[in-house]
Amino acid sequence: METAEQILNHFANDPISIVCLAAMGIVGFALYIVYLLVKQLKELINKRI
């Protein structure tokens, strides 16, 4: 198991992996927001019927 310092050094030497992690985080967050919106839309549709 790597220590936090070793991991930080690894990322400092490899900026592409930082970009990938950030992109994955943003995509995950966006998917979560879409999921919540769809869930609310389904509830609204169910109430109208």
Quote the pTM value.
0.56
Residue 17 contacts by C-beta under 8 Å, 6 or more apart in sequence?
10, 11
Instruction: Give the pLDDT of residue 26.
Output: 95
Q: Decide if 17 contacts 11 (C-beta within 8 A).
A: yes
Q: How confident is the model at residue 1 (pLDDT cuts 50, 70, 90)?
A: low
Per residue in 15-39, pLDDT tens?
Answer: 888 888 889 999 999 999 999 999 9
